Amino acid sequence: MSDQDLKSRHRDRAPQLLADIGGTHTRLALADAGVLRPGSIRRYRNEGHATFEALLALYLRDCGVRACAGVCLAVAGPVRDGVVRMTNLGWELRREALRALTGSAEVHFLNDLQAQGHALDVLDPAHIRTLVPAPETPGTTDTMTRLVVGIGTGFNAAPVHRSAQGLFVPPSECGHIHLPRQDSDEAALADWLAAEHGLATVEEALCGRGLAAIHRYLGHGALTPEALVTAIAAGDSAAKATGALYTRLLGRVLADLALIHLPYGGICLIGGTARAMGPHLAGFGLATHFRAMGRCAPMMEGFPIRLIEDDFAALTGCAVWLGVQAG
């Protein structure tokens, strides 16, 4: 079948709508029976759009879509009673409003990390980079728990369990737990963050703005996260000091999460800040900080840490999830 024939068939049937709504960007795509439509992915900055509905209406108009066969939205915030209040964005999403806009009775919300978890089985291996290796355990990989950790505008993590009924990925908002304070340096940073925010949380230190906050805490001035990563790559000593403290804290937090969930199938880092810092984490000793768990240190060697480099993985997870619901 030619590309023109495929496009004609797409026009003749209502597509499914997929969205990955983060604190800074929204990614949108169309799918047919749980399979992404080629060329339908768009990425928008949230700034300048008063509501998600306004942004979505723009996308649907641009794609010439009048109605959708089903909708699955991955959202960076808790989902409750058909309403989503974004954690790091002043948007509120309501199922009924989206049903009216899309013409679909089937509107589903997933926590963003749930969507990422549902994508893991179908991601291209070329988009997965190992940061901290672990010995392979032949024959048991399919039953091992995995952990997805989102590091971008916010911070979150969720386990990915496999059962006879398929994948189970519970929602989570664990970025708002207390920041570790194992030594005097970490305690001083936690006190500084608490003075600014009322509470020192993991998110306030490890998301994108957290990287910038650590730089300010160390007395090196205000830089954007993007500028900091560029300075780290250039070998700037102040930026490298920031990167070193950031990596130490990340190792501590990942170790805590690993002992809670035992993800022998791997810890998968996703999100813009994770991808930006990914090339530098090994040099700052991520493996050493992750495994510094006293008598539990030998256990830590069994948990690999990987970086997901696919910026649209959550859309794939939404498509997979819709396919399972229809199946």
Residues 6+ apart with CB under 8 A from 64: 11
- Of the pLDDT bands very low, low, confident and very high (cuts 50, 70, 90), residue 164 is confident
What does the longest C-alpha to C-alpha distance in the chain come to? 65
List the domain boundaries for the chain.
Answer: 3-118+313-326, 126-308
User: What number of residues does the chain have?
Assistant: 327
Q: Kindly state which CATH superfamily the domain 3-118+313-326 is placed in.
A: ATPase, nucleotide binding domain (3.30.420.40)
Measured between alpha carbons, how far is 15 from 59 in angstroms, rounded to an integer?
13
Examine the pLDDT at 2 and tell me if it is beyond 60: no
The crossing angle, in degrees rounded to 10, of helices 95-102 and 52-63 is: 20
What does the pLDDT average to over 131-151?
Answer: 84
- Of the pLDDT bands very low, low, confident and very high (cuts 50, 70, 90), residue 142 is low
Provide the pLDDT for residue 327. Answer: 62
CA atoms within 13 A on the CB side of 95: 13
Provide the pLDDT for residue 23. Answer: 86
Specify the CATH number of the domain 126-308: 3.40.367.20
Measured between alpha carbons, how far is 287 from 73 in angstroms, rounded to an integer?
34
Provide the pLDDT for residue 78. Answer: 82
CA atoms within 13 A on the CB side of 11: 7
51-107 pLDDT per residue, tens: 999 999 999 999 999 999 999 999 988 888 888 888 778 889 999 999 999 999 999
pLDDT averaged over every residue in the chain:
91
287-314 pLDDT per residue, tens: 999 999 999 999 999 999 999 999 999 9
Examine the pLDDT at 5 and tell me if it is beyond 70: no
**What is the DSSP code (8-state) at residue 246?**
H
